[in-house]
Amino acid sequence: MSTALVILAAGKGTRMNSEMPKVLHQIANAPMLIHAMQSGAPLSPARTVIVAGHGFDDVKAAVEAHDPDASVVLQAEQKGTAHAVDAARAALADFDGDVIVLFGDTPFVQPETLERMVAARGENAVVVLGFDATDPGKYGRLVMHGDQLESIVEYADATDEQRTITFCNSGVMLADCKTLYALIDEIEANNAQDEYYLTDIVGIARARGLSVSAVACDEAETLGINSRLHLAQAEAVFQTRARIELMEMGVTLQQPETVMLSFDTVIGRDTVIEPNVYFGPGVTVESGAHIRAFSHLEGCHVSRGGVVGPYARLRPGTELAEDVRIGNFVEIKNAVLDEGAKVNHLTYIGDASIGAETNIGAGTITCNYDGVMKHKTTIGRNAFIGSNTMLVAPVTIGDKAMTASGSVITTNVPDDALALARAKQVNKPGLASKMFELLKLKKKKRDKGVE
C-alpha cells in the first residue's frame, strides 16, 4: 500500500524569540523541517504534504528547494493538530493509502520506526507512536490493554494511577487516509483552548469498534524543539549520533567531540579526521583520505588518498581528484585539481583548473575577480608555479610550464615555457640607512605634534 506524509509545520515558535518560522531553524546546517522530511523519505512516499502557516512563503521555498514534488498547504489559523491535518485534506483528496502524520519540529524520528508503524497498520485502523519517558512529566499517557491502545489521556485529565504510566504520546500517527479524515470529521473542540486535537481520533476509533495500537520508539527520537536551548540540545543529539555512525562505518575521528558534521556529510571508511574539523553542507570525502586539524570544508568533494590541511578551507565547487595535497592556510573555491596536484602553503585558488602532478608554490593567488566578473585560470599537467606568483585571470599556463617566483602573469604561458614577469632589481648603496634616519626624524616630529 502506498504511503503519504503529512508534516505539520505551521507554528510560529514564540519561545524561539525569532522572526523566522520555527521549523526553518537549522540543525546540522539544514532546517529541522528537512530532517523531518528525510525521516519519511526512505518509505518512498507517494505524496508529501507540508502544512505551513507562519512564514508560509519562506517555508514553501525551503521545501521546494529540498523536494520540488512536495506540496505545501496553508493553515491560515492554528486551531489544533486535527485542524492542521485537515488542511492537507484537499491535497490528498484522490489519495488511496496510509497517511503518516509527522511534526516539523520533531526531527529525529527514525525511518526504521516509521517502517514498524507501517507494518503494524496491517492489523489496525490507527497506529500511534509512543515512547517510554525517563521523566513522563506532563506528557499525554498511552493507556494500553495488551497490544491495543485504549486511550490517550492528557496529564491534566489523568487519574493518579494513570499518571504512573511512563508510556507517553509522541503525537506521530498513522492511519488509512479515508479513515483518518472520517475520524477527524467527528472531532469537537471541547476544551479550554477551543482547539481540535488529533489525539481524539483514538477514542473515536475505539467507539467505532476499530482496532488501535501503539509502536514504541527510543525517547530521543521524539525530541521536540521549542526553544534555542532545545535547538542546541538537538544539535548535540545529531552530532553525537552522526559521529558514532561514521566511526562504526570505519572512519577514524581522533577527537570526535570536536568534529562538526552536516546533515548530508558523506565520508568513506579508512579516512582519518583530525580534531576541530568543520563539515558544511554538501561535502563528500572518499575512502582513505586524511583531513587534518582546523580545516573547514563546504560544498566540495575529496577523492581517495587526498590530504587536506591543517588550517585549510575548501569552498563550494572544489573537486579534488585522487592523491591531491592541500596544505596549511590554503583556500580553494570552485576549482578542479587533477590527480597528484599539490597546493601546500598560503595560497588562494579560485575559479581554476589545475592539471595532474602540478605543484603550486607558496603565496600563489589566482586573481579571478576584476570587480565585476569572475575569470578562470587554467594550469596544465606537471606545471610548476613559483612562490608568490599572481595569476591574473583569464590566463592559461601550459603543460610542464614554469613561472618564476614573484611573477605577475597576465598573458598565457605556452607548454614547457618559463615565464618571468617581475621588475628588475636595483640596489642603491647606503640608501637604506639614510631612509631609516629620515623616517625616524619624521616619526619624532609627529610625536611632538610638529608637521
Where exactly are the structural domains of the chain?
A: 3-222, 249-419
- CA–CA gap between residue 395 and residue 193 (Å, rounded): 68
- CA–CA gap between residue 189 and residue 212 (Å, rounded): 22
Closest CA to 37 of 79, 78, 9, 76: 9
Q: Which residue has the higher pLDDT, 189 or 162?
A: 162
The three state secondary structure string of 28-66 is CCEEHHHHHHHHHHHHCCCEEEEEEECEHHHHHHHHHHH
> Cell 573555491 maps to which residue?
333
Residue 396 pLDDT more than 90? Answer: yes
Kindly state the average pLDDT of the residues 385-392: 98
327-385 per-position pLDDT tens digit: 999 999 999 999 999 999 999 999 999 999 999 999 999 999 999 999 999 999 999 99
CATH number of 3-222: 3.90.550.10
Confidence grade of residue 12 (pLDDT, cut at 50, 70, 90)? confident
Q: Which pairs from 420-429 meet CB under 8 Å and 24+ separation?
A: none
- CA–CA gap between residue 331 and residue 285 (Å, rounded): 17
CA 428 to chain centre: 59
Confidence grade of residue 450 (pLDDT, cut at 50, 70, 90)? low
Q: Cα angle vertex 7, ends 6, 13, to 5°?
A: 150
- CA–CA gap between residue 403 and residue 365 (Å, rounded): 13
Residue 191 pLDDT more than 80? Answer: no
CB count within 10 Å of CB 19 equals 9
Phi, psi of 106 (to 5 degrees): -125, 85
pTM of the predicted model over 0.75: yes
Q: Cα angle vertex 36, ends 31, 37, to 5°?
A: 95
Kindly state the average pLDDT of the residues 116-133: 95
Confidence grade of residue 448 (pLDDT, cut at 50, 70, 90)? confident
39-60 per-position pLDDT tens digit: 999 999 999 999 999 999 999 9
Q: How far is CA 91 from CA 5, 60, 105, 177, 232, in A?
A: 11, 15, 22, 11, 34
| Cell numbers found for residue 338 | 587533477
Kindly state the average pLDDT of the residues 399-425: 96
| Cell numbers found for residue 161 | 494511577
- CA–CA gap between residue 373 and residue 369 (Å, rounded): 6
Kindly state the average pLDDT of the residues 163-182: 96
Residues noted as catalytic: 345
Q: What is the DSSP letter of 424?
A: P
CA 192 to chain centre: 39
Confidence grade of residue 451 (pLDDT, cut at 50, 70, 90)? low
Phi, psi of 351 (to 5 degrees): 55, 60
Phi, psi of 346 (to 5 degrees): 45, 55
> Is 92 within 8 Å of 99 (Cβ atoms)?
yes
CATH number of 249-419: 2.160.10.10
- CA–CA gap between residue 259 and residue 245 (Å, rounded): 13
Radius of gyration of the chain (CA): 30
- CA–CA gap between residue 20 and residue 415 (Å, rounded): 55
> Is 351 within 8 Å of 376 (Cβ atoms)?
yes
| Cell numbers found for residue 166 | 511512563
